[in-house]
Each structure stands twice: as C-alpha cells, then as structure tokens.
Amino acid sequence: MTSNNTLISNPVTGKQLARTPPPPPPAANSDILLNDGLGGSGSTSSDNGLSEEQKEHIRFSQVVRKKDFFHMEKINGKSMNVLKGLELHTKVFNAEEQKKIIECVYNLQRMGQKGQLRERTYSEPRKWMRGKGRVTIQFGCCYNYAVDKNGNPPGILREEEVDPLPPLFKQMIKRMVRWHVLPTMCVPNSCIVNIYNEGDCIPPHIDHHDFLRPFCTVSFLTQCNILFGSSLKIVSPGEFSGPLSIPLPVGSVLILNGNGADIAKHCVPAVPGKRISITFRRMDESKLPYNFLPDPELSRIKPFIVSPSSAPQGHHQKPVINSSFVKAIVQQNQHRNDQAIKDKPDREATKTTKNDSFLCGNDDFPPLGKASKGASR
C-alpha cells in the first residue's frame, strides 16, 4: 500500500512528520475541459483547482485568431482584397473535444446507413472514385446542390424535412458564439457534415445566399488546404489550383464573410487522408423550411466576458496569459495537444500557389450521388 503523505523533518526537533504533498502538476494525458457538454470523460485530473470560469478564461485566451488574410485581385476593373472577411480561429476545440465530436459524427453516419435518420438527412455518393463527392449529413434544412429531378433549383428545399441539430452540435455553436468566433446576430441554425475519404474533394463554389453571412467550417481528423480566389481552376478530378491556399488545422474554425465569402470562390482539393468538416450556417428568414422550429437554446447565448474575477486566484491584477501558472498550464496543454493530434504542421499560415484563368461558374457544386439509402422517418 502506498500513502499520499510524505515524511519531512521538523527543523527544531528533527522528528519525522507526515505532510500532505502539494497537488500534482496537470496530468500528462488530459486537457483543460469545461463543464459545457463538449468534454470527454471528465476533467478532474487537470482541473488544478480552477473554477469553470477560470478554466474557460484560460481556454478562451488560448484561441489564436488570424484575421488579416490578404490577396489583391482586380474585380470588374477595381482592385480589392478578395479575402477580406476571412478569419481562422485555431485551438477552439481541443483533442478530447475533437474525439467526442468525431465519435458523434461516426455514430450519426451509422444511423444514416441504417435508415435511422430522416431520408434527406444522410446522403452518400453512389460510386466512390477519386475526386467524386463525399458523404454528407444535413441538419436543420435540406439543401439542394443542383437542379433536382423535380426541377427544384439549388437552395434550401423548404418543404423537405431533415433531422434537427444534434445536442453536441448545439454545444459547438454555443462555444463558438461564446468565444467570439461567431457573432450573436448570426447564430447558425443548420449545418452540413462532410465526411471525406482520402482523395475526396469539394469543387470551387460560393455558398448559396439562402444562407446568411458569416458562416463557418470546423475541421477534424486530418489537416488539409482550402483554396481561395475569384478564379479557381479545375486541373483534373480532385485537383484544383488557385491563388491562395490556407491550411485548416484540426479543431480550427474558418469564418467566411464579406469578400472571402462572396467574391472569392473556395474549394477543397483531394484530401490527403480521412477528414470531417462541419459547416454551420444560418438560414435566411424567408427561406426557412416550412416546418422549422427555432431552438430556444440557441437564442440566448451570452458571449464570454473577460473579467478579472475569471483569472486564476492570485493573479487578479495581471492579464491571465502573463501569469507563470497559467503559462505553465497552457504550455503543458499545448504539448499534449501536439502529441495527441498527429498532424503534419504547416509552416505557413497562407501560401501562394499558381494563379490561373479558369473560372468555375457554378454558384454551388454539383449534386452528390443518390440521396439517403435509409427509410424516411
């Protein structure tokens, strides 16, 4: 049997005394988790005696926000930064949270394959081949990618029913709004999950205006690049070229707004390994599905306010990130995340690729294979 107590000597009498040792440093294989529904199995070993507010403060201050994407192009004779409005927020979802979200997506995929989701919720391409399609799971609304067999144009099919946003996805939305990644006036009420196998892609497109701006995409499993430019070239199946390539780290959120959403097209070339993305969007009020019910949970999200009281004890006067205690925790978590996510690090935040002249005129990309195999609910 081992004891938690250590023996120390009384400096006066020399007698040995038992003493409770100081709390251990944060555990090597866990991360700061919040009690907000996104964490995994519990966070006791890495709590460090911090309150929920203090933990949130630390996690919030770890988010890296890049908002200065820049690429000038001449559009209708006028020079403009076609990437204005793009933002990349990294370290929004940590390794443990990513794991939980990925498990949830796989579970939804299994349900879709068994016909346990509404018919238009789950869809997979009829035939797998490099550069063709990917599995999609839609929540909140049914989006029609191209004119369908009934002659419906691309956009939200208002009469179709799909499943509502799963609870974990609502937690993700809350996290993004609370941490100032998404604005309170454009809280998403729909999403599309894309499950890419190695070699799958999304061709160049601009997202349909049935969805408001900004919208965002969250990345999981494998880092890949997303290309941007007013003109993107299709080189071969799954191979595209364009002026700007942005790496999307796992756990990151890319915000598309302004020129970055509406002037520049974007596409994801054939991915190097299995990848999942979740694109969250708010529907235009006039395009809501006829049976759509707003979710009260999503209408009262309060952004996180950085207050002195949320800083860890004893560091009230300093910005939280300057405290050596917090720095140590942040460094340990950083190290653990780097270990946990075996991802190829990208040295550049943005890099330039060949420019081109081919314009993919589609507003959105072509249809996937046949819709869900499952029975309707």
Ligand X SMILES: O=C(O)CCC(=O)C(=O)O
Q: Which residues of 302-330 are buried (b: 16+ CB within 10 A; e: fewer)?
A: eebeeeeebbbeebeeeebeebeebeebb
Q: Which residues contact 44 (CB under 8 A, 6 or more apart)?
A: none
- Cβ closer to ligand X: 279 or 332? 279
- Cβ closer to ligand X: 173 or 329? 173
- Cβ closer to ligand X: 34 or 256? 256
Q: Which residue is nearest to ligand X (CB)?
A: 277
Among residues 174, 172, 235, 178, which one has the least CA distance to residue 203?
235
- Cβ closer to ligand X: 33 or 141? 141
Q: Which residues contact 41 (CB under 8 A, 6 or more apart)?
A: none
Read off the tokens for 231: 């003109």
Min CB(84)–ligand X separation in Å: 18
Q: Rounded to the nearest 5°, which phi and psi values hold at 294? A: -60, 145
Contact 236, 246 (CB under 8 A): no
Contact 99, 40 (CB under 8 A): yes
- Cβ closer to ligand X: 43 or 279? 279
Min CB(248)–ligand X separation in Å: 6
Among residues 362, 277, 232, 228, which one has the least CA distance to residue 101?
277
Look-up: residue for tokens 């419906």? 152
Which amino acid, one-letter code, is at 331? Q
Min CB(250)–ligand X separation in Å: 11
Min CB(187)–ligand X separation in Å: 18
Residues that bind ligand X (CB under 6 A): 192, 194, 202, 207, 217, 219, 226, 266, 268, 277, 279
- Cβ closer to ligand X: 218 or 330? 218
- Cβ closer to ligand X: 50 or 254? 254
Contact 191, 139 (CB under 8 A): yes
Min CB(182)–ligand X separation in Å: 16
Min CB(86)–ligand X separation in Å: 13
Q: Rounded to the nearest 5°, which phi and psi values hold at 241? A: -135, 150
Min CB(224)–ligand X separation in Å: 8
